[in-house]
Amino acid sequence: MKKSILMLAASVLFFSACGDPELDITGTTYEPKIVVEGYLYPGEPVTDIRIMRNFKLNTSIDTSTLFIDNAIVTINGEPLQYNNITRSYFNNSILVDYNKSYELKVSAVVDGTQLSTSSVTVVPSQGFNLLTKNLGVNRYGLDTPEIRFNPSPSSDFYALSIIPDSASLSNFIYDNKFQPDIKIEDLIESFINFRFQYAYLLNVSTNSADTISNKIQGYDTWFYSTYRVIIYAGDKNFRDYVITAKRVREFDGNFHEPVMNFSGDGIGIFASAVKDTAYFTIVP
Amino acid sequence: MLNKIGIVLFILFFVVTNAVSFSQPVNGRTISGFVYDQATGEALIGANVFIKEEETGSSTNNSGFFSVPGLPDGEYTMIISYIGYKTESLNISVPQKKEQTLTINLIPEALVTGEVVVTADSVKTIDKLFVKPVSKIELNAKQVNAIPRVIEADLLRALQTLPGITALSDFSSALYVRGGTPDQNLYLIDGTDVYNPEHAFGIFSTFNTSAIKKVEVSKGGFGAEYGGRLSSVLHVTNLDGNRNYFEGTANVSMLSASATLQMPLGKIGSLSGSIRRTYIDQTYAKWIKEVPDYYFYDGNLKAFFDLGERDKLSISYFHGKDVLDFQLDKEKESFSFDYSWGNTTGSINWRHIFNPKLFANIWLTASVFKSDFDFESVNFGEKNSISDYAAKIALEYYLTTKVNFKLGLEQKMLSGYLKQDWEGGRVDVERDRSLSTGYISSNFKPAESLDIEAGLRMQYFSAERNFFNIEPRFSVKYRLTEESNIKLAAGKYHQYLNRIPRLFFASIWTTADEYTNASSSSHYILGYQRALGAVYEFEVEAYYKSYKDLYVFNPNLETEVTPGSFDNGGRPVYNSTKGLLNRGDGESFGLEFILRKDIGALTGWVSYSLSKTNYSFDKLNQTNYFTPRHDRASVVNAVLNLDIKSFLDEIMNRKHYKSSSKWLLGLNFVYATGQPITVPASAYYVNTLPDWNSITAGGMNNPGYNLYPGTINDFRLPAYTRMDISLTYEINYSGWSLAPYLQVFNIGNRKNLWFIDYNEEIKDGIIVQEIDKVNMLPILPSLGVNIKF
């Protein structure tokens, strides 16, 4: 009897410890949000403020409703108008100034729900100065292009957008030390990720007399080409978005909230920056 | 506030009253001594000493010492019992001819052989349960090694089979005790604190099971002698060494080889040493290109000196190290890095009997953890260290059979550094801290059925700002019936250390400082124990824990961290913890059931725990409560060990004959509710940088969408279930034994989910998200052999 009970118990335990459990996350609760993408640059009018909506994964993206064209959008109380061609909001009469604060307010209906949000950006001060715009011709693996600049007194964050003028399978640097065995199909699949590269400098000195330098690393250049590097001296919103928006996914598939500095129902970025451009070439 | 003062005053009143009431000259004599294993001379921890005529007794402490004061003159029968040993009965006369410390040697008997005979002089199961403190579980080396393992026997993994102690994955030996996190566990090895006790990126722990004599785990409500952590205490006592003859064990598994040797040092003492090393770097790494050159080793040495009847001295040393030399492609020039980390600990422990009533334990301990990472290919390097030097004294005073006291003082010097260097900056943090601790507790047994313990622990932590905390502790044990006990414990606990767990890298420890408070927790535990027959133990415990000022790593650290200075190259230098951690509060509560059997052909336990943990953090979930990642609502464990032949004899009522060989079957089953996780709920289009402008470009060349998370930890992964078995054939021959074994981890090949890998693709205007399940360990058979000589 005792033996049978034990055998039965062991069998039950064994069979419950087999199998491949199902995983279905499609039932996850979705909350509609107002999505903002807007940048202000000193000396330029307010343009290209995109107001969009988020959408559920695995559902058809209705491009006709992705961009919200009937939102009420204001900056410092001044209304913005919608441009059907660029699908963005603008107000040419607002000229962005250094060191000034701008508050964006948006209200819109998404999925039948009235949503509203606001965010404030403070434009960095004057002073950002790129010392050399032409970084020359650099041999891959031997020379390192170096960005050098004087910082803005109110910005300690600099984002570098590094994009080759020409990017194709033929000028890809196959003989690299980071992915030396890359397969052509993987390259094609991730091509866009090799082409668009960015880096950032965090918490640099804000003393305008200082010279900040940063070397462009080998893992930021994947093609033999001429590159253009746009350097953005960003405000806090710029910094928080660039650092956190793409890093919401942890190693084990767990997600955490990014820092976007919106109050209410908004996500995305409303930021300001001072920018300049440098160039360099990578040759074998 | 008044409540807190009231509790402290009550405990002070209790302790002082006990001291004053019983400070009058006590009639009677004191019998004291040590209890040893007759075969090896090892001191036995927790052995029961019972004076039959007086129906009173004591149990041995961590040094094997006991004291029974207040015995009137007369003839007594002293019964000494310990699980796995033949119960000894001694006739003693009081007063003795001369005051002496008794030395009692118990004869070991195999746990699984022979019938269980409950005789009149045996100590009953319920009495053993009564002696045990609330929420405490004890395991010996045999029990730890009998649990089926993942290739390598591992202490922390063995503890994950106990109720209230859970694991996060097959790849982690970290312990989550009653809703607490691994940094809230105090790990002590021979009285020395151990930090980051992990090998192989946390897959295995640093405790070598061959060297272990006894493991005590307190899951909560622990007494005033322990502190500095919020959740639990794991105290490992290593073997002192065989005092009678040379003895050795060796183990060869598919991962490592290990050996433990013990020998007497003449009549003065003994020596014990263990060493273990993995050989992946010498085997798999040479055959399989993708396997990195990696190994770990550890070893410990412990010397025991019997300096006389009243003085014993132990010196112990441990060192363990992991070394990884990684190269992406061993045949080409490719990026590479080196990483090494390890612990070194040492302690000197002097035990002195001032008189039969006063026992002292004095320690000098040192513990150092260091790691070194060099990733030259991307110009990144890191050095991380924490060291802990401590002097401790613990006094035990046995005033009467009804009252005893514990007093202790501890001075700890902590220091640590973290240095990182990369293109964009440096981290340069160096800290020195001190922790001064004093405690007093009193145990009062007003009747045979009632046992009350109350204590106070005072801690002063010195950092950029100083912290002083008083922690009241209280427990009551009451014999409800002849077969059942009821227990209650409560206590306040503070912790000044916070661990930042990191994937792949060794954890970093920070302390309370100008930006972070001391974390605190209150425990309330109610337990019920029942002896079922002669050998079964049943326990149920309910607990509630509150947490205040918990700290977890801030995943968005870079948005808040600010440099303290700039180096000559203008790079930021970080040297403070500001922004590093998110602060929060929380609570855990639950119910645990365990049915356990330690004697007979079939041993083991079956347990069930039901629990819930809630967190509320300042910068998460708009401060609303949420369930943390390590919460497991329901956990079922079954650990069974079977001596097959004895068991068959037992159930078929056959006569059992001792044999030189036996087959041992081990089974481990675990079911746990799936882990909570935050999954993506939606996507949105925003370019990474303004000039990328890929939204309007559309199509495949569109890296511009981002995923946005849903409600925090609102989704649960599928339940975790696993069954392991082991089969061992043990042959004994003339003092030697050989035990080849087969272990099968996850015998049902259950595909337990480790994590989710998301792949998104834009197809026909839809972001299609495909989910890949990344599973934990599959069925994993392993072979090995244990040799004893």
What confidence tens digit (pLDDT) does each residue in B705-718 have? 789 999 899 999 99
Residue B668's H or E segment, with its range, is strand B661-672
Asked if B555 lies within 8 A of A256 by C-beta distance, the reply is: yes
For an interface test with B, the pick among A46, A57, A96, A204 (most B C-beta atoms closer than 10 Å) comes out as A57
For an interface test with B, the pick among A1, A8, A12, A13 (most B C-beta atoms closer than 10 Å) comes out as A13
- Please, what is the Cα angle at A196 between A192 and A198, to 5 degrees? 145
Range in B128-142, B327-341, B596-610 with the lowest mean pLDDT: B327-341
**Among candidates B682, B723, B771 on the partner chain, residue whose Cβ is nearest the Cβ of A55:** B682
Yes or no: say if B485 and B126 are a contact pair by the CB < 8 Å rule.
Answer: yes
Length of chain A: 284
Of A133-137, A205-209, B126-130, the range with the highest mean pLDDT is A133-137
**Among candidates B329, B559, B692 on the partner chain, residue whose Cβ is nearest the Cβ of A259:** B559
Taking CA–CA distances from A216, the nearest residue in chain B reads B423
Question: What pLDDT was estimated at residue B734?
Answer: 80
Distance (Å, whole) CA B61 – CA B175:
26
Q: Which two tokens stand for residue B1?
A: 């506030």
Quickly state the pLDDT bin for B378 (edges 50, 70, 90). Answer: confident
Yes or no: say if B384 and B51 are a contact pair by the CB < 8 Å rule.
Answer: no
Could you give phi then psi for residue A87, rounded to 5 degrees? 55, 45
- Reply yes or no on whether the pLDDT at B117 is more than 50: no
Of A196-200, B118-122, B592-596, the range with the highest mean pLDDT is B592-596
What confidence tens digit (pLDDT) does each residue in A70-117 have? 999 999 999 999 999 989 999 999 999 999 999 999 999 998 999 999
Long-range CB pairs of B45-49, under 8 A, 24+ apart, other chains included: B45/B213, B45/B214, B45/B216, B45/B237, B46/B82, B46/B131, B46/B138, B46/B214, B47/B80, B47/B81, B47/B82, B47/B85, B47/B106, B48/B79, B48/B80, B48/B81, B48/B82, B48/B123, B48/B127, B48/B128, B48/B131, B49/B78, B49/B79, B49/B80
Mapped onto helix, strand or coil, the DSSP state of residue B157 is: helix
Give contacts of A252 with chain B, Cβ < 8 Å. Answer: 677, 754-756
Give contacts of A212 with chain B, Cβ < 8 Å. Answer: 570
Taking the CA of residue A50 and the nearest CA in chain B, the distance in Å comes to 9
Structure-token match 């939204």, residue found:
B695
What percentage of chain B exceeds 70 in pLDDT? 91
Question: What pLDDT was estimated at residue B92?
Answer: 86
Give contacts of B694 with chain A, Cβ < 8 Å. Answer: 196
Distance (Å, whole) CA A268 – CA A272:
13
Cα R_g (chain A), whole angstroms: 25
- Reply yes or no on whether the pLDDT at B282 is more than 90: no
**Among candidates A59, A210, A239 on the partner chain, residue whose Cβ is nearest the Cβ of B570:** A210
- Reply yes or no on whether the pLDDT at A188 is more than 90: no
- Reply yes or no on whether the pLDDT at B1 is more than 60: no
Quickly state the pLDDT bin for B601 (edges 50, 70, 90). Answer: confident
Mapped onto helix, strand or coil, the DSSP state of residue B436 is: strand
Asked if B334 lies within 8 A of A15 by C-beta distance, the reply is: no
Find all residues with CB under 8 Å of B287, minimum gap 6, and list them: none
Give contacts of B701 with chain A, Cβ < 8 Å. Answer: 192
Q: Which two tokens stand for residue A3?
A: 């033996």
**Among candidates A22, A196, A259 on the partner chain, residue whose Cβ is nearest the Cβ of B692:** A196
Yes or no: say if A214 and A150 are a contact pair by the CB < 8 Å rule.
Answer: no
Q: How far is CA B368 from CA B193, B318, B321, B386, B437, in A?
A: 9, 10, 12, 6, 20
**Among candidates A28, A181, A243 on the partner chain, residue whose Cβ is nearest the Cβ of B679:** A28
Mean of pLDDT values over B403-422: 94
DSSP string, B728-781: EEEEEETTEEEEEEEEEETTTB---EEEEEEEEEEETTEEEEEEEEEE----EE
Give contacts of B683 with chain A, Cβ < 8 Å. Answer: 54-55, 57
Mapped onto helix, strand or coil, the DSSP state of residue B558 is: helix
Taking the CA of residue A79 and the nearest CA in chain B, the distance in Å comes to 22
Range in B63-72, B308-317, B382-391, B490-499 with the lowest mean pLDDT: B63-72
User: Counting Cβ atoms within 10 Å, is residue A29 exposed (0-12), middle (13-18) or buried (19+)?
Assistant: exposed
Mean of pLDDT values over B749-753: 93
Yes or no: say if B368 and B385 are a contact pair by the CB < 8 Å rule.
Answer: yes
Of B27-31, B51-55, B392-396, the range with the highest mean pLDDT is B392-396
Distance (Å, whole) CA B561 – CA B516:
14
Q: Is the peptide bond before B95 cis (omega within 30 degrees of 0)?
A: yes
Strands, E assignment, B496-601: 497-500, 508-511, 519-532, 536-553, 565-566, 572-574, 581-597
Mean of pLDDT values over B101-118: 66
Asked if A23 lies within 8 A of B680 by C-beta distance, the reply is: no
Characterize the bridge pairing of strands B508-511 and B497-500. Answer: antiparallel
- Reply yes or no on whether the pLDDT at A13 is more than 90: no
Distance (Å, whole) CA A35 – CA A52:
5
Distance (Å, whole) CA B573 – CA B567:
6
Give contacts of A18 with chain B, Cβ < 8 Å. Answer: 748-750
**Beta partners for residue B625, in sequence order:** none
Quickly state the pLDDT bin for B700 (edges 50, 70, 90). Answer: very low
- Please, what is the Cα angle at B668 between B666 and B669, to 5 degrees? 150
What percentage of chain B exceeds 90 in pLDDT? 50
Mean of pLDDT values over B413-442: 93
Taking the CA of residue A214 and the nearest CA in chain B, the distance in Å comes to 8
pLDDT, chain B, mean: 87
Question: What pLDDT was estimated at residue A189?
Answer: 81
Give contacts of A66 with chain B, Cβ < 8 Å. Answer: 685
Taking the CA of residue B367 and the nearest CA in chain A, the distance in Å comes to 31
Question: What pLDDT was estimated at residue B108?
Answer: 81
For an interface test with A, the pick among B578, B689, B760 (most A C-beta atoms closer than 10 Å) comes out as B689
Taking CA–CA distances from A3, the nearest residue in chain B reads B651
Give contacts of A55 with chain B, Cβ < 8 Å. Answer: 682-684, 767
Question: What pLDDT was estimated at residue B11?
Answer: 66
Quickly state the pLDDT bin for B115 (edges 50, 70, 90). Answer: very low
Mapped onto helix, strand or coil, the DSSP state of residue B143 is: helix
What sign has the CA pseudo-torsion B686, B692, B695, B696? positive
Distance (Å, whole) CA A280 – CA A283:
10
Quickly state the pLDDT bin for B327 (edges 50, 70, 90). Answer: confident
Mean of pLDDT values over A271-278: 96
**Among candidates A31, A192, A198 on the partner chain, residue whose Cβ is nearest the Cβ of B689:** A198
What sign has the CA pseudo-torsion A53, A58, A59, A63? positive
Give contacts of A29 with chain B, Cβ < 8 Å. Answer: 681, 710-711, 714
Query: What's the ipTM?
Result: 0.91
Residue B441's H or E segment, with its range, is strand B425-447
Q: Bigger pLDDT: B20 or B683?
A: B683
- Please, what is the Cα angle at A211 between A207 and A215, to 5 degrees? 130
**Among candidates A28, A36, A180 on the partner chain, residue whose Cβ is nearest the Cβ of B715:** A28
Tell me the residue type at B150. V
Strands, E assignment, chain A: 34-40, 45-53, 72-75, 78-79, 81-83, 88-95, 101-110, 113-122, 129-130, 134-139, 146-150, 157-164, 197-202, 212-215, 226-234, 263-264, 266-283
Yes or no: say if B297 and B276 are a contact pair by the CB < 8 Å rule.
Answer: yes
pTM confidence score: 0.88
Distance (Å, whole) CA B387 – CA B650:
53
Question: What pLDDT was estimated at residue B27?
Answer: 63
- Reply yes or no on whether the pLDDT at B2 is more than 60: no
- Reply yes or no on whether the pLDDT at B250 is more than 70: yes
Residue A9's H or E segment, with its range, is helix A2-16
Question: What pLDDT was estimated at residue B785?
Answer: 92
Asked if A246 lies within 8 A of B706 by C-beta distance, the reply is: yes
Strands, E assignment, B279-355: 293-306, 311-327, 336-355
Taking CA–CA distances from A198, the nearest residue in chain B reads B689
**Among candidates A31, A213, A246 on the partner chain, residue whose Cβ is nearest the Cβ of B688:** A246
Mean of pLDDT values over A218-228: 92
Quickly state the pLDDT bin for B18 (edges 50, 70, 90). Answer: low
Quickly state the pLDDT bin for B118 (edges 50, 70, 90). Answer: very low
What percentage of chain A exceeds 90 in pLDDT? 63
Quickly state the pLDDT bin for B746 (edges 50, 70, 90). Answer: very high
Asked if A180 lies within 8 A of B503 by C-beta distance, the reply is: no
Yes or no: say if A220 and A144 are a contact pair by the CB < 8 Å rule.
Answer: no
Question: What pLDDT was estimated at residue B440?
Answer: 96
Mapped onto helix, strand or coil, the DSSP state of residue B688 is: coil
Asked if A178 lies within 8 A of B651 by C-beta distance, the reply is: no
- Reply yes or no on whether the pLDDT at B672 is more than 90: yes
Asked if B423 lies within 8 A of A255 by C-beta distance, the reply is: no
Taking the CA of residue B765 and the nearest CA in chain A, the distance in Å comes to 6
Helix axes A2-16, B644-651, angle to 10 degrees: 130
Asked if B717 lies within 8 A of A56 by C-beta distance, the reply is: no
Mean of pLDDT values over B301-325: 93
Question: What pLDDT was estimated at residue B125?
Answer: 83
Asked if B707 lies within 8 A of A255 by C-beta distance, the reply is: yes
**Among candidates A13, A54, A249 on the partner chain, residue whose Cβ is nearest the Cβ of B723:** A13
Taking CA–CA distances from A277, the nearest residue in chain B reads B691
Distance (Å, whole) CA B138 – CA B641:
17
Distance (Å, whole) CA A56 – CA A34:
13
Nearest to B304 by CA among B276, B259, B273, B344: B273
Asked if B760 lies within 8 A of A35 by C-beta distance, the reply is: no
Q: Bigger pLDDT: B74 or B345?
A: B345
Question: What pLDDT was estimated at residue B114?
Answer: 45
Distance (Å, whole) CA B649 – CA B386:
54
Q: Bigger pLDDT: B86 or B120?
A: B86
